[in-house]
Each structure stands twice: as structure tokens, then as C-alpha cells.
């Protein structure tokens, strides 16, 4: 009878210990959340450093234009029924717009933080066909030819490295920054132009070269009836953004080249209009000089696997001690759990200096070495401690692989968890629950 009671107590003790270890694993998620907060804080500091450097260099850039604006007069009546003359604006976009952009990426550092900047040489060329005055119900006599101007909008003007000029037919015009009181641009670069009925009927050609600095993103607004954009850069990791993907791309470790072709029917604004307001920049497209998943993002993703690391390590340790009739106190499980949590702080701190991959190797080596030394002293068995260290190495290698394979992370994670569960189920059969 005493033997039966003792056996029952041993089995109950085993189950109770398993429940305590499970609860301990869940409690360790609290310090894991503190690590996530620390990662977010460090990433916020990186963004502050990025904003500070960008504010002194130039922000994201979007180039829109050229747009031809011609004031015109129209007759109306006031509230008393008296006739008045109102001056309004008519807007005309080019029929063809060709853009060639060569982007030179530049990495800058603010302390330990890397900031992605660029300088770009942009060539604009194209033409305006005879202006469709009849389509807008306008006649040449209503237009204020002497007040016409051409406008180009640039998101951050301090990024301009040279004076902005445009060749307009046979003339070279200098554009100056100005507040613009029209329905399309509130500010931009403008230049008055001399127009006449004869000149608009014969068409207008233009070209311009823009040397500009920016950070992270460069986009263009397809204001042409047909807009062709070609961009090339030595940056090997572009992220194409905006309303349209490039028609052709070539990406290699030496850089990328991309080409877009946009037609007017794909936009939400016409080629010519009067008075109405349109957000032209909403149709823009271009490229982010994308930095692939950075250290903070990868570290945050790895922390999300912390519950998996803790549970699998505790499960392996529990099965090892049970099958080999060893006894380990829950406090010692907690110490192993804290070592697993410190893995992420090591990973975070080292990744800021030597990169994520190197930091992962350092953190893995330190954590596995510490736990192996600790377990060897507990179980008094080199064989069992080496076996547990092998489990940890496989686990961290598996998670590292998942972090590298962004597109197949879910598939690999699901398959790995399934196989892990199968192994645990196999060895748990040996335990006399």
C-alpha cells in the first residue's frame, strides 16, 4: 500500500512540477515584453537621428511639373446683378514628358545610427502640343498672355544643389521659389513666360536639368499625357512605391535600373482644366532606397519567438531530467529562463555595432555556453549538457533561418513547429505520467 501511495505521489509531483514550469515560462513573457519596449525605444532614437540628419540634408523628394498656367478673364454678375470681370486660371500639362534620373546613394551616420541619403541628377524633357482652348471654352482674346507662367514643384527646396532653370523653346528661364496663389500648387518654382496665340498653336518644347539631394525616397508625378521615367542607381535594394510599378526592372548587387511608362487615362486629373483643384502628387511613383529588414526589426521579430524558445528549452530540459531520473528545482529553471531572455538584450546591444548576423552569433554562443556550463553542474553529466546545448544550437539556428527568409517564414515556421511537436510527443511516451 505504501509503495502504491509513494508511486502515486511521485506521478502527481511530476505533473505539478510540469504545471509550475509551464507557469514559469508564461511569467518570463513579462521581461520579454520589457525587451520589446527597449527595442522600440532604441528604434525611436534611430528615427530621431534620421529626422535630424534629413532636416539638414533634405527630406523625401517628389518632382511635379512642368505645368503651364495662363490667367484668363470671364464675365459674371455680382449679387446685385451688375456685370463684373473675374480673373481665373487655366492649367495645361505637357503631351510628352521624359524623365531620366541617376540616383547616387550616400550612407551617413549619426552616432551609431545609419541614415540613407542620396543625390540625384534629373533630366526633364518634353513638349506641349497646341493648347486645347476650345475644349475649355476659351478664346485667345480672354487669355492674359503676359501673365502666363510655368511652374515646377519640388517637395523640399533646400535639396536643390544648383539654380533651377528650364529651356523653353529657344529661351532659358530661371525659376524662383514663390508662394503661388492657384488651385494646384501653394508653393513651388515659377518663371514668367512670353506667350502669344501664334506660339501656342505651334507647340512648345522644354528641357531642364535638376541636381537635387534627398533622403530615402524619390518620386515623380506623371503630368505628361505620356510620361516615361527612367531611373538607375547603385543602390541594390530598391522598393518601388507609388501608384504604379515599373514596366521593366533590372536589379543586381551593383544597383538597379527601372523604367515606367504612364498614360493620362490612368490618372485622376485631365490634361487641361480651369479653376478646379487637383492633387497631382497623389499620382506620383518612384523608388524608396530601401534598407532591408534592419537590426531593430529583426531583433523585434526574434523576441516574438521568445515564448517558443523558452517552452522548447524547458520541455527538452524537463524530458532530459525526467528520463534520466534527475531532479532540478523550479528556481533553476527560472535562472535558465533569464539566460534565454538576456539573449535578446545581448542581441540588441551588439547589433547596433556589429550588425544583426554577427550579434546573433555572439548572443547565441554566450547564451548556449552559459546554459551548458550551468546544466553540467546541475546534472553532473557532460553527455546530457552537450545534448541540451545541441538542442539550443538547433533551435537558435532554426529561428535565425526564419528571420532571414522573409517570404517563407510562415511556411518554415509551421513545418518546424510540427516536427518539434512530433519529437516531443515521441520522447514524452517514455515518461510515466
Please report which confidence band the pLDDT of residue 1 belongs to, taking 50, 70 and 90 as the band edges.
very low
pLDDT in tens, 272-310: 998 878 889 899 999 988 665 567 888 888 888 888 888
Can you tell me the mean pLDDT for 348-361?
87
> Which pLDDT does position 5 carry in this prediction?
45
Kindly report the average pLDDT of the chain as a whole number: 84
Question: What's the burial of 173, exposed, middle or buried (CB within 10 Å: 0-12/13-18/19+)?
Answer: buried
pLDDT in tens, 151-197: 999 999 999 999 999 999 888 999 998 877 777 888 889 999 988 77
pLDDT in tens, 215-254: 889 999 999 999 999 999 998 888 899 999 999 999 998 9
Q: Whole-model pTM above 0.75?
A: no
> Which pLDDT does position 408 carry in this prediction?
63
CA distance 263 to 248: 16
Residue in the structure block whose three cell numbers are 515521441: 426
Q: Which residues contact 347 (CB under 8 A, 6 or more apart)?
A: 299, 302, 356, 359, 360, 363
Q: Give DSSP secondary structure letters for 223-239.
A: -SSEEEEEEEES-S-EE
> Which pLDDT does position 274 carry in this prediction?
87
Contact in structure between 28 and 337 (CB atoms under 8 Å): yes
Task: Choose among 16, 42, 38: nearest CA to 341.
Answer: 38
CA distance 148 to 196: 10
Is the pLDDT at 409 greater than 90? The verdict is: no
CA distance 365 to 73: 78
Amino acid at each position: 500500500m505504501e509503495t502504491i501511495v509513494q508511486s502515486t505521489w511521485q506521478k502527481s509531483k511530476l505533473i505539478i512540477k510540469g504545471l509550475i514550469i509551464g507557469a514559469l515560462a508564461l511569467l518570463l513573457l513579462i521581461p520579454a515584453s520589457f525587451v520589446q519596449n527597449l527595442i522600440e525605444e532604441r528604434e525611436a532614437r534611430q528615427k530621431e537621428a534620421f529626422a535630424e540628419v534629413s532636416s539638414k540634408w533634405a527630406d523625401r523628394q517628389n518632382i511635379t511639373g512642368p505645368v503651364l498656367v495662363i490667367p484668363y478673364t470671364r464675365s459674371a454678375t455680382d449679387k446685385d446683378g451688375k456685370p463684373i470681370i473675374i480673373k481665373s486660371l487655366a492649367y495645361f500639362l505637357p503631351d510628352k514628358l521624359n524623365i531620366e534620373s541617376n540616383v547616387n546613394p550616400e550612407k551617413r551616420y549619426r552616432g551609431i545610427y545609419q541614415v540613407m541619403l542620396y543625390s540625384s541628377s534629373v533630366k526633364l524633357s518634353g513638349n506641349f502640343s497646341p493648347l486645347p482652348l476650345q475644349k475649355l471654352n476659351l478664346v485667345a482674346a480672354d487669355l492674359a498672355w503676359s501673365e502666363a507662367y510655368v511652374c515646377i514643384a519640388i517637395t523640399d527646396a533646400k535639396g536643390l544643389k544648383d539654380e533651377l532653370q528650364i529651356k523653353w523653346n529657344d529661351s532659358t528661364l530661371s525659376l524662383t521659389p514663390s508662394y503661388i496663389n492657384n488651385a494646384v500648387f501653394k508653393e513651388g518654382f515659377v518663371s514668367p513666360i512670353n506667350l502669344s496665340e501664334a506660339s501656342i498653336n505651334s507647340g512648345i518644347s522644354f528641357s531642364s536639368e535638376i541636381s537635387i539631394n534627398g533622403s530615402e525616397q524619390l518620386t515623380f508625378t506623371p503630368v505628361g499625357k505620356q510620361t516615361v521615367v527612367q531611373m538607375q542607381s547603385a543602390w541594390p535594394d530598391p522598393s518601388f512605391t507609388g501608384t504604379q510599378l515599373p514596366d521593366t526592372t533590372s536589379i543586381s548587387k551593383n544597383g538597379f535600373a527601372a523604367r515606367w511608362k504612364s498614360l493620362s487615362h490612368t490618372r485622376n486629373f485631365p490634361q487641361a482644366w480651369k479653376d478646379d483643384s487637383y492633387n497631382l502628387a497623389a499620382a506620383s511613383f518612384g523608388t524608396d532606397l530601401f534598407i532591408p529588414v534592419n537590426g531593430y526589426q529583426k531583433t523585434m521579430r526574434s523576441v516574438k519567438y521568445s515564448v517558443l524558445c523558452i517552452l522548447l528549452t524547458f520541455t527538452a530540459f524537463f524530458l532530459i531530467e525526467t528520463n534520466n531520473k534527475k531532479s532540478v528545482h523550479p528556481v533553476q529553471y527560472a535562472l535558465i529562463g533569464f539566460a534565454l531572455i538576456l539573449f535578446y538584450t545581448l542581441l540588441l546591444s551588439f547589433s547596433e555595432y556589429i550588425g544583426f548576423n554577427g550579434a546573433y552569433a555572439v548572443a547565441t554562443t554566450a547564451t548556449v555556453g552559459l546554459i551548458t556550463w550551468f546544466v553540467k553542474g546541475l546534472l553532473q553529466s557532460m553527455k546530457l549538457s552537450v545534448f541540451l546545448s545541441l538542442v539550443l544550437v538547433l533551435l537558435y539556428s532554426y529561428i535565425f533561418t526564419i528571420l532571414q527568409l522573409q517570404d517563407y517564414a510562415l511556411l518554415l515556421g509551421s513545418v518546424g513547429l510540427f516536427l518539434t511537436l512530433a519529437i516531443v510527443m515521441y520522447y514524452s511516451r517514455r515518461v510515466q505520467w
